[in-house]
Amino acid sequence: MTVIVLKSEHLNKVYSLGSLLRRMKIHALDDVNLEVMSDEPVIISLVGESGSGKTTLAKVLLRVVQPNSGDAIVHDRVVAGDGALVDRHSFLKTVQPIFQNPFEAFSSYRPVDAYLETTAMRINGLSRAEAVELVREALSAVGLKYTDVHEKYPNQFSGGELQRVSVARALIPRPKMIIADEPVSMIDASMRMNVVNLFLSLKNDYKTSFLYITHDLATAYYISDYVAVMYRGCIVEFGSAKDVLASPLHPYTQLLLESIPSVRVKWDRNRFAYSDLETKEFQFVGCKFYNRCPLAKEVCAHQRPQAVLRQDGRSVYCHFV
């Protein structure tokens, strides 16, 4: 049964910065349009550098911030914008988060399994005994033993382990989608694949879709079905992961790919463009990537590119592709 796994329509979020005299409007999300339909659970990667708007999109989906206009749909349910689901309970069974900093995600005054138990009791509506069983199962799904976690406080774990506890907690209500905001950025590079592979196995075993937000395309490559690339609040490219990462069309996607510190290929030091002040780039009228783009022409400075939809389902936002 094909469902809309993720959809956003004309999503806008504007922040106002600056002092009384010089207020600037920053479009953290600037007319974001996205649609993924599927009959199987999928992993969608949302990729971009810091300040691209990917975290804002996650916050809108998680209802932490309200969009200025537009709406967002997860698994056929409207989660944000006009007509959003009012019922918090069914919202919590639709989306669950995993945050970037595992040590911040838990209060140091409560044992970590308390959160898992609370989730099971409140959202799944179980008794304490049943909840403990469910917690045990969720923990083993992420490769942890209940006895290793029970009654332990956050500072007794490493970053990678704590993040896995976070994943276990997100899994308990069997959400339709888990939104992971840069889940491995704060973990040592050598441990990242442990958590990333977990997403893949959970997708298959628990039939949960994932929205994997990251700036690291290498880990995204491993597990994604779809990739959306964002720059300064706008989507610049979208398509299936294999297509986008194997043959990127937008110059920014190419820049991202070339920035991965690989252990196999040395960088071409001539191909790089520094970014300007963030606020200036956000305010730019034309294509936000104009200043760093090797293909930039006059038209790019004045007109924001519209989506070019190709036959293979890919969309690219560029005047020259």
Partner 1 sequence: MKTNLRLKIGVTLLAIFVLGSLILPYFTHLNPTAQGTYFKNLPVSWKHPLGTNSLGQDIFWVIVFAVRNSLLLGVSVSLIVNLISITLGLTAGYSGGWVDRLIMTLCDSFITIPTLPILIILASLIKGSASFLTIGLILVAFGWAWGARTTRSMALSLREREFVHMARFSGMGHFEIIFKEIFPYVYTYGIVGFINTILYAINTEASLAVIGLSNLSVPTLGSALYWALNYNALFTKQYTWVLSPVVATVLLFLGLFLTSTGYNDLFAARRGRS
Partner 2 sequence: MIKINNLVATYTTVRGTVTAVDKVNLEIPEGITLGIAGESGCGKTTLLKVLYGDIGFPLSIREGAVEYGMVGDQDEEITTQNIQKYWFRRIAYVPQGSMSSLNPVVRIRAQFLDYMRSGSGQKRMLEEAREYVKSLGLPPEVLDAYPHQLSGGMRQRVMVAMASFIKPDIILADEPTTALDVVVQKGILLLLMELQEKMKSTIFFVSHDMGVHYQIAQKMFIMYAAKGVEYGNAEDVFGNPLHPYTRLLIDSLPAVGDTNLRKGVSGHPPSLWDTLMGCRFADRCPYATEECRAYEPSLREVRPGHFVACHFSERFL
Residues that bind partner 2 (CB under 8 A): 49-51, 158-160, 185-186, 188-197, 215-219, 221-222, 245-246, 255-264, 266-267, 269, 272, 274-280
Q: Per rule CB under 8 A, is residue 210 in the interface with partner 1?
A: no
Q: How crowded is residue 243: how many other Cβ atoms within 10 Å of its Cβ?
A: 17
Which span sits near partner 1 by CB under 8 A: 116-124, 134-142, 209-217, 276-284? 116-124
d(CA 289, CA 234): 10
Question: Which partner from the list partner 1, partner 2, none does 140 bind, CB cut-off 5 to 8 Å by kind?
Answer: none
Q: Per rule CB under 8 A, is residue 51 in the interface with partner 1?
A: no
Which of residues 25, 122, 145, 242 is near partner 1 by CB under 8 A? 122
- Among residues 101 and 291, whose Cβ is nearest to partner 1? 101
Q: Per rule CB under 8 A, is residue 110 in the interface with partner 1?
A: yes
**DSSP state at residue 100:** S
Residue whose entry in the numeric block shows the structure tokens 């976690």:
149
d(CA 238, CA 173): 30
Q: Per rule CB under 8 A, is residue 156 in the interface with partner 1?
A: yes
Question: Which partner from the list partner 2, partner 1, none does 194 bind, CB cut-off 5 to 8 Å by kind?
Answer: partner 2
Burial 252-283 (b: 16+ CB within 10 A, else e): bbebbbeeeeeeeeeeeeeeeeeeeeeeebbe
SS3 of 31, please?
A: strand
d(CA 177, CA 97): 9
Question: Which partner from the list partner 2, partner 1, none does 136 bind, CB cut-off 5 to 8 Å by kind?
Answer: none
CB of 51 to partner 2, least distance (A): 6
